[in-house]
Amino acid sequence: MVLISGILSSYLTILVPVFIGDAIDSVPRYYKIFDYIILILIVSSLSSLFGFILEYYSSKTGNIFARRIRDMSFKRVLSNSYDKLENQDSGDLLSRITMDVDASRRFVTISISNLFSTTALLFIALYELTRIYYLFSIIFLIVMVPTIYLTFKMQRMQRGYWRSLRKKYGNMNSKIGENISGMRVVRSFNAEDFEIKSFKDKTQDYFSDYVGIAAVRSFYTPLLAAIISISIGFIIITSGISSAAGIPIGSIVAAINIFTLVLRPVRFYGRYISFYENGMASLERLSEIDYSNENYSKKEPTGYDIIIENLSFFRNNKKIINNISLNIHENEHIALTGGTASGKTTFLNLISGLYKNYDGSIRLGGIEIRDISPGLLRRIIGIIPQNPFIFSGSIFYNIDFGRGYSLSQVINAARLAKIDDFIETLPDKYNTVIGEHGINLSGGQRQRIALARALIGDPKILVMDDFTSSLDIVTEEELINDIRPLLDGKTVVISGYKKKTLELADDVYYMSNGALLPVESGVNE
């Protein structure tokens, strides 16, 4: 439908100057002029109709393409393991899924709506010029040679600019995101001027590339138009020869009008090169998003013990976890303590299955943890992070988190986490919308919602990463007392440095430089 509409629209567009020429030649027979006027109106209307169909379906196709590639890119981002995502710039990923997808949409839309129709217009114009007078078609072909050369020349000159532009846009996005998230720190250190200057430097780099693209386009696009204008001059010069050859004056006028129409597709090719390079640069960046397509074992763990053998983990060629071997038995409670950057959080991420790229072995119920499907792993292991992330949405959404639990199940999880009484005091209760990052909640309330989120699926293993570090003494003691009975019948791994937190464990280990040392057995006693 799109291709046929484009060809018909182009063919009817060329017929208009042809009929105008025929109308001029029919002046001696004035009664035919009205027939040509009606014919021109009909042809113009049909050309507009097919043009509308072309624009509608090309725009629809472009948006369908953008929707699918945006969904696919987002899926690829979320399919990656946590360690891969940690090494990627969030602002750059955001620009890829937004700006790059939009650039690829414009490229596809323009390609469908204009590339086929304008190319068809050129071939139809060549046919009509040949039919009128062969010299006109020769001039047309001679003009096309430098036009095609300049078009490809402009393409090569813009390619580097567009690729650089996409990367710099990602850098700007990252800078904006950092300053919005870290606004409190920026203002605390009176660093506004420093950050503004840093952002200006990035926008200047972005601006410089756009100026480079504009310089190329401003030189080549008028030059292409000038070539067509010169060709029209040659048509007028050769009109004397064509008149001597018996070519009617109306046909000469038609030829000049056809060359004028050709000016539009030539200008389009100049613009299309920008869309092409921009679109290809965007598609290339989208294809660079890592995609995890791992094959997972169909077997399920036979138990909930965790056997760790010779575990090591590197980040940026630096060893973070150093050859750890440890057996965590089913229903055992252990705790990790140690200094800052000793490897506690990394170790918990490893045994939670968030990091896949490790040396050694982590077996859960007899199966290597990276071979267990993420869906099954998340049902088995509940994670309570140090700084729980609360999404902008309802309390119900933050606890259920798209897993399909009923309201009664969400309420039960909230009761276990001792947050239900607070929720019931809110006007909309579980439908109350929480601000971004849970900004309108206290630290203890955020932690209890995170606890409810982890407990709702009744996981057999709980991993709690320094979850009381940001709480005051009173809130910490209340939370610890509420959590203690919930740990019965579960395998529990905790990290922290506060005594109350460590008392939840049967055994405590000290981490230093990625190594694990036993500290005490039976700490509760």
What is the tens place of the pLDDT at every residue in 30-58?
A: 657 777 788 888 888 888 888 888 888 88
Q: How many CA atoms lie within 13 A of 491 on its CB side?
A: 17
CA 45 vs. chain centroid, Å, equals 41
* Mean pLDDT of the region 321-343: 87
pLDDT the model gives residue 90: 67
Q: Which whole number is the average pLDDT over 101-118?
A: 80
Q: Band of the pLDDT at 1, cuts 50, 70, 90?
A: low
Q: Say how far apart CA 281 and CA 287 lie, in whole Å.
A: 10
DSSP state of 329: -
Q: What would the pLDDT profile of 235-262 be if each residue is shown by its tens digit? A: 777 766 666 566 777 777 888 888 777 7
Query: Contact at 8 Å (CB) between 322 and 513?
Result: yes
The dihedral region occupied by 31, where left means phi > 0, alpha psi between -120 and 50, and beta the remainder, is: alpha
Tens digit of each residue's pLDDT (9 = 90 or more) over 255-281: 888 877 776 676 677 677 777 777 777
Average pLDDT over every residue of 311-336: 87
Please tell me the distance from the alpha carbon of residue 54 to that of residue 48, in angstroms, as a whole number: 10
Any idea which of 195-204, 364-373, 416-425, 430-439 has the lowest mean pLDDT? 430-439
**19-28, 80-89, 340-349, 438-447: least confident range:** 80-89
Residue 145 has pLDDT above 80, yes or no: no
Q: Determine contact, residues 40/153, Cβ cutoff 8 Å.
A: no
pLDDT tens digits, one per residue of 181-233: 677 667 656 677 878 888 888 888 888 887 887 887 777 777 777 777 777 77
Residue 521 has pLDDT above 50, yes or no: no
Give percent of the chain above pLDDT 90: 0
CA separation for the pair 155, 157 (Å, rounded): 6
pLDDT at position 385 is 82
Using DSSP bridges, classify how beta strands 491-495 and 461-465 pair: parallel, antiparallel or unpaired: parallel
DSSP H helices, 133-245, are: 134-181, 183-188, 192-244
* The predicted structure's pLDDT at residue 525: 42
State residue 239's pLDDT score.
67
Q: Is the pLDDT of residue 25 over 60?
A: yes
Q: Which residue has the higher pLDDT, 435 or 8?
A: 8
Q: What does the pLDDT read at residue 81?
A: 65
pLDDT of residue 82 exceeding 80: no
Structure tokens at 368: 């290597």
The DSSP element (H or E) to which 326 belongs, if any, is strand 318-328
C-beta separation of 312 from 321 below 8 A: yes
- Residue 296 CA to residue 246 CA, distance in Å, equals 80
What are the distances in angstroms from CA 102 to CA 70, 290, 368, 380, 442? 9, 20, 41, 39, 39
Portion of the chain with pLDDT greater than 70, in percent: 86
Mean pLDDT, range 443-459, rounded to an integer? 84
The answer to whether the CB of 279 falls within 8 A of the CB of 106 is: yes
Distance CA 130, CA 18 (A): 13
Q: How far apart are CA 296 and CA 369, in angstroms?
A: 10
Q: What is the pLDDT of residue 524?
A: 42
What would the pLDDT profile of 362-410 be if each residue is shown by its tens digit?
998 888 888 888 788 888 888 888 777 888 788 888 888 878 888 888 8
Average pLDDT, the chain: 79
Can you give the three-state secondary structure of 483-515, one letter per residue?
A: HHHHHCCCEEEEECCCHHHHCCCCEEEEEECCE
Query: pTM of this prediction?
Result: 0.64
User: Which domains, and CATH codes, for the chain?
Assistant: 2-287 (1.20.1560.10), 306-521 (3.40.50.300)
pLDDT tens digit string along 460-480?
A: 888 988 877 767 777 778 778
